[in-house]
Structure 1
Amino acid sequence: MAPYSASAQTAPVQVVEGQVLNAHTNEPVPFATLGFPGRGLGTVADEQGRYLLRLPPNLSDTLVVTSVGFARTTVAPAALARGQRVFQVAPLAVALDGAVAEHARMHPAQLGRSTATGDLPWTGGSSGKETVDDEWGWELGAILRPAHRTYLEEFHVFLSANTYEQLRFRLNLYTLENGRPGRPLLTKDIQLTCTNKARGWHTIDLRPYALELAAQPVVVTIQWLQSEKTAPEDKYFSIPVTRQRQQVMVERENSEAVWTLHPLQPSLYFTVLEE
């Protein structure tokens, strides 16, 4: 990739900054995502809900602000033009169903691809760039098809390369609609942090969340939330993928970009209890 150069841009890029707040408490919403539907424009806020967002000139698209456990919020172009930079998102009311897994009726299983090698590495990162926050929000995942009712115990993803001192990802689950990710299923913000350029398998313990999947297709992704900004121009990470006949792997640039499908499968999987 060529390094960023202001003179190489055909039009100036406007950089705006602001904050995402909880509409009920006025507290910051950590790692909220911001993006324009169908466009490759978006970012992720930091721990204090603060963001930097790059806008093209004459923007006429609606901005969408989202976070796990909060209602999807839209911001009209006119509000952006007036200088609105603080956005409030309302928390969703979550009803607990009190479901309890009867472990005596369950058996251990795996859901996904648990092989550490692949046909090629699928690479994300900021190599060739002086900034990285406009890359945050990128998602990669796979379509999974549980055959029985399933309880998720752990999530695993393999990094074959990692040159970051810190990488933060969010775990997302979606319904499968028309062959692509649809409605988000998680109500808790489940994250994975990788430090010290660590490679190999990385694991999230999901038992505290009591996550249950029905016997129907689902999409799991990891979403890049954050990484250190020191010298980001030579930073990247890779996940092994293997070729498939079917469109199994899903990817998008940010939280509101168009999903693309690939005849590949990444090295990520769940360990589960299955009926």
Structure 2
Amino acid sequence: MLRQSPLLFCLLAILAPAHAQSTAPVVGTVSSRSTGQGIPFVNIGLPQRGLGTVSDEQGRYHLPYNAAYAADTVRISSVGFKPLLLPFAALLAAPAIGLVPEPVALNEVSVTAAGAYQHPNTAGLAKAAPRMSLHLSANELGTELGCLVHLQHRPALVQSLHVVVLKNEAGPLTFRLNIYRLDAQGLPTTEKLLARDVLITATPEAGVLSADITADHLVLTEDFLLALEWVKNPLPAGPDLTQRISFGGAMKYGAQLYFRRTSQAPWTKPRFTSNMPALGMRPVVALYATVKD
């Protein structure tokens, strides 16, 4: 839920969903069938339950278990591999999962004239409003916050991705920056437009976290969802870890803010209440891309 105080302070609460009483978690690994190597930061979850997690750097994962989940479908996905769907009972019986590599389509920028992209631009919210921040609050890896980004000129060659961090009292937190395709209704899908994982780490210092993706040659011809996903926590991790990190934000007309509680959960718009007239404006997080068009 988002609440706005008289000081334009916004809170985004992404709360872990309530689940039935769980027994010991399912402990397993996700690896590549071609190499046998563990796959880092794989998304594993039950979409219908809003329950999930992210594997560690070696592909190891812990997923809560309950007998009521046996017939539910588990979705396992990672960039560069074919998504896998299987019954939770099958995962319980064989928790060591192998994913099949999937060829990544090359972007058509390679056949575009080198001088086609000359004009630098910014897409998204690059400057946060004074005294306004968004707090990401969750207990589970895979929590994700994103906003719709409109391209003024198309096609656009994406140069870098950024997020404005106002405060971090939680220690080093690793996030993944994701770019998702929108469907015909303009809603975010699960299809990622980046061909690799783009990771950033938030340190105690405030400022702009940036990732250079010029080598990815990513050309976009459509609006997209730019999202920030929590994939790794420091040790030891407390249950309220990310309540102590805040991001820049602003109120804008037509803003579209989305979140999902954890890995593979559906995208949801946060509820927004305010004790000040918003006049149709909605909150947006300071996530943005630098592009050339």
TM range (shorter): 0.7 to 0.9
Contact conserved, 1:164 with 1:227, CA < 8 A, in 2? Answer: no
The aligned residue for residue 155 of structure 2 is 149
Matched, 1:269 2:277: no
Partners of 1:224 and 1:101 lie apart in 2 by: 37
Alpha-carbon distance, 1:53 to partner: 0.8
Secondary structure of the 2:38 match is coil
Alpha-carbon distance, 1:56 to partner: 3.0
The aligned residue for residue 110 of structure 1 is 122
Contact conserved, 2:73 with 2:87, CA < 8 A, in 1? Answer: yes
Alpha-carbon distance, 1:173 to partner: 1.1
Task: Map residues 164-175 of structure 1 onto 2, 5 A cutoff.
Answer: 164-175=170-181
2:219 to 188, 212, 217: 212
Partners of 2:268 and 2:193 lie apart in 1 by: 20
Identity of aligned residues (%): 31
The aligned residue for residue 189 of structure 1 is 197
Q: Moved runs in structure 1, 4+ residues, more than 6 A? A: none
The aligned residue for residue 80 of structure 1 is 91
The aligned residue for residue 159 of structure 1 is 165
Q: Deviations over 1:6-49 (max 9, x none)?
A: xxx96344311110010111110011110111322100000000
Q: Deviations over 1:48-70 (max 9, x none)?
A: 00011112332121111111111
Task: Map residues 31-180 of structure 1 onto 2, 5 A cutoff.
Answer: 31-59=41-69, 60-81=71-92, 83-96=93-106, 97=108, 98-100=110-112, 102-103=114-115, 105-117=117-129, 120-125=132-137, 135-147=140-152, 148-177=154-183, 178-180=185-187
Secondary structure of the 1:51 match is strand
Matched, 1:230 2:241: no
The 1:138–1:10 alpha-carbon spacing in structure 2 relative to 1, beyond 3 Å, is closer
The aligned residue for residue 6 of structure 1 is none
Alpha-carbon distance, 1:254 to partner: 1.8
Alpha-carbon distance, 1:107 to partner: 0.6
The aligned residue for residue 268 of structure 2 is 260
Contact conserved, 2:20 with 2:66, CA < 8 A, in 1? Answer: no
Matched, 1:19 2:19: no
The 1:189–1:105 alpha-carbon spacing in structure 2 relative to 1, beyond 3 Å, is closer
TM-score (norm 2): 0.81
The aligned residue for residue 273 of structure 2 is none
The 1:10–1:18 alpha-carbon spacing in structure 2 relative to 1, beyond 3 Å, is closer
Q: Which AA in structure 1 matches 2:229?
A: Q
Alpha-carbon distance, 1:99 to partner: 3.5
Matched, 1:244 2:263: no
The 1:11–1:239 alpha-carbon spacing in structure 2 relative to 1, beyond 3 Å, is same
Q: Which AA in structure 2 matches 1:11?
A: Q
Secondary structure of the 1:232 match is coil
The aligned residue for residue 278 of structure 2 is none
Gaps of 5+ in 2: 1-12, 14-18, 271-281
Secondary structure of the 1:242 match is strand
Secondary structure of the 2:29 match is strand
Partners of 1:113 and 1:24 lie apart in 2 by: 41
Partners of 1:246 and 1:94 lie apart in 2 by: 34
The 1:105–1:75 alpha-carbon spacing in structure 2 relative to 1, beyond 3 Å, is closer
Contact conserved, 2:51 with 2:263, CA < 8 A, in 1? Answer: no
Q: Which AA in structure 1 matches 2:246?
A: S
- After TM superposition, the structure 1 stretch with the greater mean CA deviation from structure 2, 98-107 or 173-182, is 98-107
Partners of 1:210 and 1:162 lie apart in 2 by: 32
What is the aligned residue count?
A: 259
